[in-house]
Structure 1
């Protein structure tokens, strides 16, 4: 008989999942200051991280200008610049929506502490569903960043990147500072990508709330119960209306960056670079698809649970009630015909499993085109 995760003595609870994701996104300054950290030191840490990102961005840009005849250096610098731009963009989005994210954090923590046992079981189901992939994604990004940092130990290069500085870097102290700076920037880039795991967690929480609401349909036996049910539905929709804009901004940034990273990394797969260099950017190409999958997975589930699934369950249950109650429930059924989706008309297609499949198909077609052009 197959043992459950809990029976083997190891289980990722919602509390552990939140703590793990909180630690993994620490460098993005998404969570408000905790413990003894003051708001001033929190802001200084955030601004310093952004300043250090720009401190590497411009030397990388300078390297592109200096090595215009070396396509591989241009691509490597462009990939690093894109990852830094992603981090800065994510910090800007988090800062712009800091009140909303603080509210989401508070609501999620309140739910974990005060939810009923049946509600916790539903949310646990979602945690069991996503935590392994999310842990793997975080592991890959930080291991990938570490691989880039230790690259100079086994590769014929002095620093992790090809950044060019307007001063001499031969002094050991200066070289050590630059190496530490580039290493820290690599972890900032990893944190910028891992931040999408936090956004996905909020989406999974929203999915769980809809799932809980669907499971409570059978509790409705009279008009008062139905009024309570409609209010619960409206509260979840109101939460969704606040959650979707910042999630949409993060998803658009991530997917835009992912496309650039995949195309740029594709050149390394068909280049004459060493195997170690290729491995670094193969990890970049593969891991960059994780974020798009994470958003598409959670968004597809949300679209289903807030639309067809809810409409079907409500219709099946309320068809047995009086005509007056049927008329009341038409409001929910009508709203369920417009599921909650994540998109930006003209910029970002509706995220779903179909979108992710088309995204991968387009990526492979792009790689094939690049290979054909290079070989010709």
Structure 2
């Protein structure tokens, strides 16, 4: 990307600058807010919950004296900040997509101003030989993101299948040998257990399962 931008002419740089000016506020605000919320949480949580550190961690040694307290506090804050920085990986994927979009817009502008056959042929060749480096970066980021989702989809799918077996296991028990009151409680439990536990995001993800994962 850097090499292409350095070799780009004024019109091509203007296209890139238009995209930067249009979306820098949104992405800059998002990264700033996530970082600010993380540090705010580090400061507020200990005050609200009356504890020394932002995270509730047990250490195999005393932590109620300096400089151990300060060192551990800084260590936890740094760890939370590193987790927050994972947002940058998603922003990098967005950067690759916006860069690709800008390249296609530049190519579109070239097609519209083509006069000679040689220029038209050059545009076609440029369309066919899209930078391999960008494709590789995009594939790597996508694979990394898919692996992260898979690590969550696997236990979520297993949770759904195991939780659906509870009703069957309860029905196979000797509930019918109990008194009427116990049988009513068991029937109520069976009704409750018929619905499997499903992890979902309303309006975004219907169910986090292997089937949903492979259909995306």
Q: Provide TM-score, normalisation by structure 2.
A: 0.63
Q: Secondary structure at the match of 2:125?
A: helix
Q: Is the 8 A contact 1:219 1:225 kept in 2?
A: no
Q: Secondary structure at the match of 1:231?
A: helix
1:110 equivalent in structure 2: 3
Give the one of 65, 72, 75 matched to 1:171.
65
Residue 361 (str. 1) matches residue 207 (str. 2)? no
Give the one of 147, 157, 163 matched to 2:40.
147
Q: Is the 8 A contact 2:35 2:81 kept in 1?
A: yes
- 1:168 is displaced (CA, Å) by 2.3
Distance in 2 separating the partners of 1:194 and 1:258:
20
Q: Is the 8 A contact 1:112 1:120 kept in 2?
A: yes
Distance in 1 separating the partners of 2:11 and 2:134:
22
Residue 126 (str. 1) matches residue 4 (str. 2)? no
Distance in 1 separating the partners of 2:21 and 2:78:
32
Give the one of 184, 207, 211 matched to 2:78.
184
1:252 equivalent in structure 2: 146
Distance in 1 separating the partners of 2:9 and 2:148:
35
- Flag as ranges the 4+ runs of structure 1 deviating above 4 A: 253-259
- 1:239 is displaced (CA, Å) by 4.5
1:27 equivalent in structure 2: none
Q: How does 1:230-245 map to 2 (within 5 A)?
A: 230-236=124-130, 238-245=132-139
Q: Secondary structure at the match of 1:199?
A: helix
Distance in 2 separating the partners of 1:253 and 1:221:
47
Deviations 1:316-367 (A, max 9, x none): xxxxxxxxxxxxxxxxxxxxxxxxxxxxxxxxxxxxxxxxxx965046x78x
CA RMSD of aligned residues (A): 2.8
Q: Provide TM-score, normalisation by structure 1.
A: 0.38
Distance in 1 separating the partners of 2:36 and 2:88:
12
**Which stretches in structure 1 are left out of the alignment for 5+ residues?**
1-107, 260-357, 367-376
2:97 equivalent in structure 1: 203
Q: Secondary structure at the match of 2:67?
A: helix
Q: Is the 8 A contact 1:160 1:182 kept in 2?
A: yes
Q: Which has the higher contact order (CA 8 A, sep 6+)?
A: 1
Deviations 1:99-150 (A, max 9, x none): xxxxxxxxx2233333112111211221123211101111111111101211
Q: Is the 8 A contact 2:96 2:138 kept in 1?
A: no
Deviations 1:299-328 (A, max 9, x none): xxxxxxxxxxxxxxxxxxxxxxxxxxxxxx
- 1:256 is displaced (CA, Å) by 6.5
Q: How does 1:1-376 map to 2 (within 5 A)?
A: 108-151=1-44, 152-236=46-130, 238-252=132-146, 361-362=203-204
Q: Is the 8 A contact 1:145 1:187 kept in 2?
A: yes
Task: Look at both structures and tell me which one has the larger radius of gyration over its CA atoms.
Answer: 2
Q: Is the 8 A contact 1:149 1:183 kept in 2?
A: yes
Distance in 2 separating the partners of 1:256 and 1:176:
37
Q: Is the 8 A contact 2:96 2:134 kept in 1?
A: no
Q: Is the 8 A contact 1:193 1:254 kept in 2?
A: no
Q: Is the 8 A contact 1:145 1:186 kept in 2?
A: yes
Q: Secondary structure at the match of 1:233?
A: helix
- 1:185 is displaced (CA, Å) by 0.8
